[in-house]
Structure 1
Amino acid sequence: MQKKTRMFATAAGVLALVAIGVWTYTRPAHVKVSAPVAVPVRVVNVVQEDVPRFVTGIGSVLSLQSVTIRPQVDGILTKLLVKEGQQVKAGDLLATLDDRSIRAALEQAKAQLAQSQAQLDVAQLDLKRYKLLSVDNGISKQQYDQQQALVNQLKATAAGNQASINASQVQLSYTQVRSPVTGRVGIRNVDQGNFLRVTDTLGLFSVTQIDPVSVSFALPQQMLPTLQGLIAAPSPAPVQAYLGEGATGTLLGEGTLTLIDNQVVAATGTIRAKAEFANPAEKLWPGQLVTVKIQTAIDRNALNVPPQVVQRGAEHHYVYRVKGDSVEIVPVKVLYQDSDRVLISGVNANDVLVSDGQSRLKAGSRIEVVKTPTDDALADAAGQAK
């Protein structure tokens, strides 16, 4: 009996040990609670400054004066005195035409005038004699009146001869082709030795003014009150012309707003305007398409941040503001934005806002500020300066 009791006790002990071993190997591992992982972000400071507002549009460069040089008399082109692409001034001699026939007509008109003048001188002397004789009734009144009529006739003939001379001189002046404007000579259409006619529409070449030039552009009709205010302002509104799109393009020139068209283009809902540019370097070329950028206003003491800082929510815009080692959500109001900046209200100057990494953030998230290569370069430069 005692032997059986010991066997049961031994078996129970073995079973207890087995149970303890199984529980030891199968129990859940102890889970350690770790701290939240910090989200890497980049940050910027809110800058308070005076910020200009701009509006952009597409425009085309126009010459203030562009003239096609055409002959005003028929004749052979005897000389071309300028080259293609040459700069000329108003009044410069560009070309000459054969003037021999016109000079001959001028000399003939001068000879006729001399003949008429000689006849007039004789008739006037006779008229004086007739006048003295008529006092004593030496001649009849009829003879005197006829002599007076002859003098008047010869005066008219002399005046006609002088008019012919003037006309020939005008025709002679047309044989010297002078530039009516200051500008650049275009591509030549005819060569020396060609016979030119007044009816030729192509002309010799063109002379186009390039400095200064104007730029014509169109803006939405909603901009009309703004443009009217700029035109009425005491100082002209600055305008910039770029080759390409805005600040990413090449600046070609800076000018001022000069004109608004007198009607809105109903088909497109736009208003046309013009700006004038000094163009001494000739970067603006007539016919060229450019992007026009107009300064419409200046926001004083505006809070300025990059566009990527502002996030759009279901009901409002917001930003992530750094608070210690975490962030908080701050609703903001967008006052103005373009491709380079956003002006907002709802934050303070020099607040630190998240500019990159917002997709992993929520209110209260822990953050780790990552420096950009630019920040490191600025820090190194500051260290070297010290």
Structure 2
Amino acid sequence: MSDFPSSTQPRRAPRWLGWGLVLLVVLVAAFYFWPSSKAPSGPFGAPGFGGPMAVPVRVAPVEAGTVDVVFKAVGTVAAYNTVVVRPRVDGQLIAVRFQDGQKVEQDDVLAVIDPRPFQAQLDEALGQQLQNRAQLENARSDLKRYELLFKQNSLAKQQLDAQVALLRQYEGRQKSDQAAVDQAKLQLQYTEVRAPLSGRVGLRRVDQGNLVNSSNEEGLVVITQNQPISATFSLPQSQVSVVLSEMRNGRELAVHLYGADDRQPLAEGVLESADNQIDVATGTLRFKARFKNEDESLLPNQFVNVRLLARQGIEALTIPAIAMQQGSRGSFVYLVEEGKVKVQVVTPGISDGDRIAIEQGLQPGQSVVVEGVDRLREGASVQVVSEGQEAAAPQGPARR
């Protein structure tokens, strides 16, 4: 056997090559997973080296201005008037003169009930009235003759008194006859079912040819008055005193309605009335507002978001409402000073929904964070971005 090593045995790789591969893997991982270039640069120009990352935020100034007192609530739209149209006489429905959903005016004929039985009753009442009228006229003529004979001492006083009583009896019967005629005429008029108010009819509940009666609770159709229309809502008793005070002073309070997203405006109206007692179960008071609803965009039983403008133009320091935060110490904002944020406890006041008044804790000209608060803490470094930039938490590049 030869003393020289065989040429077929594998050679060991140099140790430096293994460490080089490990270093290469570390560098590649650092390149892919290191935070983005939004972080402040370190001494070597590489992102992230040399200190913590600054959080991009958008700020708004603390301004001296005016704010409105706006109360929010959830309300329900209600027809200003709702009427169930019922027939006032019984009979067969021979005509329906409206279309489902049609807009009608007051006194429009909606349906017709067979008038022939009621016309016969009127004719009978008129005939009876004529008979009794003839008897009345005959009694009056007899009374004149009796009075003449009594003056001539040719008639007893008893007969004269009897004739006077008979005349009064016929006069009373004549009034009863006239009442019967008027009642028959009224019943005949009721065979034409008329709209009691202007509005929009719903779906008819009885078809032509059916027998109808006044005791039917469903009626023929429902008419809702949607122009104007109303909305009812409730406010907590802590807000009631402000609203009632303004109403007693004769001020007309504006009420705005918004859609389900609380962004799309639906209508603008005025506060009309308040209930006379607070609901003990909820501690709220009901209010009613009126809206013209010219385009009929509001429908009865529609749920809406209500904003009641109780007071206007109150001077105060204001900030955007989105800057207000809530924590264990109460209300606070993130105050930006020299590139860092400070947790500033404040005392909020009234709000109009978009801006909120600050009673204590801030001074005019200071800046508060309105976007990018998710990753903030006391003393955190921030980078104020302009309106066109995105105030979001920094993220590293996507993995490949």
Same fold? TM cut 0.5: yes
Aligned to 1:166: 182
1:321 paired residue number: 336
Pairing of 1:297-336 with structure 2 (within 5 A): 297-298=311-312, 300-310=314-324, 315=329, 317-323=332-338, 332-336=346-350
Q: Are residues 1:216 and 2:232 paired? A: yes
Map residues 327-366 of structure 1 onto 2, 5 A cutoff: 332-337=346-351, 340-344=354-358, 345-357=360-372, 359=375, 363=379
Preserved CA contact (<8 Å) 2:63 2:319: yes
1:197 to 213, 224, 249: 213
Letter matched to residue 298 of structure 1: Q
Q: Distance in 1 between matches of 2:111 and 2:52?
A: 84
Secondary structure of 1:223's partner?
Answer: helix
- Kept after mapping to 2: 8 A contact 1:321/1:330: no
Contact 2:43 2:50 in 1 (8 A): no
CA contact (8 A) 1:213 1:279 kept: yes
TM-score (structure 2 length as normaliser): 0.76
Query: Structure 1 46/142 Cα, relative in aligned 2: closer, same or farther at 3 Å?
Result: same
Please give the per-residue CA displacement for 1:183-202, whole angstroms capped at 9, x wherever unaligned: 11111011111111222221
Q: Structure 1 residues 145 and 218, CA, compared in 2 at 3 Å: closer, same or farther? A: same
Distance 1:157 1:105 in 2: 18
Q: Percent identity?
A: 34
How far the C-alpha of 1:312 sits from its partner, in A, is 5.6
Q: 1:127 to 1:58 in 2, by over 3 A?
A: same
Equivalent in the alignment of 2:149: 133
1:269 matched to 2:249? The reply is: no
Cα deviations across residues 260-281 of structure 1 (Å, max 9, x unaligned)? Answer: 2222222222222222222111
Instruction: Map 1:1-386 onto structure 2 (within 5 A).
Output: 39=54, 40-246=56-262, 248=263, 250-298=264-312, 300-310=314-324, 315=329, 317-323=332-338, 332-337=346-351, 340-344=354-358, 345-357=360-372, 359=375, 363=379, 367-373=382-388
Q: Which protein has the larger Cα radius of gyration, Structure 1 or Structure 2?
A: 1
Amino acid in structure 2 at the alignment position of 1:172: L
Rounded Cα–Cα distance in structure 1 between residues aligned with 2:84 and 2:195? 10
Instruction: Indicate if the aligned counterparts of 1:184 and 1:210 stay in contact, CA closer than 8 A.
Output: yes
Query: Structure 2, unaligned stretches of length 5 or more?
Result: 1-41, 391-400
**Mapped partners of 1:204, 1:145: distance in 2:** 56
Letter aligned with residue 41 of structure 1:
V
SS at match of 1:263: coil
Alpha-carbon distance in structure 2 between the residues aligned to 1:32 and 1:212: 72
- Within 1, Cα distance between the matches of 2:235 and 2:259? 18
Aligned residues: 341
Deviation, structure 1 residue 32: 7.1
Structure with more helix by fraction:
1
Q: How far off is 1:362 after superposition?
A: 5.0
Moved more, 255-264 or 347-356: 347-356
Task: Give the direction of change, closer, same or farther, for the CA distance of 1:63–1:133 in structure 2 (3 Å limit).
Answer: same
Residue 101 to residue 351, structure 1, CA distance change in 2 (3 Å): same
2:357 alignment partner AA: L
Partner of 1:279: helix, strand, or coil? coil
Q: Structure 2: how far apart are the matches of 1:130 and 1:190?
A: 62
Q: Is the 8 A contact 1:71 1:196 kept in 2?
A: yes
- How many Å separate the matches in 1 of 2:71 and 2:63? 22
Does the CA-based 8 Å contact 2:335-2:366 persist in structure 1?
A: no
Do the aligned partners of 1:322 and 1:353 also contact (CA within 8 Å) in 2? Answer: no
Cα distance change of structure 1 residues 319 and 366 upon mapping to structure 2, 3 Å threshold: closer
Amino acid at match of 1:369: V
1:182 is displaced (CA, Å) by 1.3
Query: TM-score under structure 1 normalisation?
Result: 0.79
TM-aligned CA distance change 1:50 to 1:75, over 3 Å: same
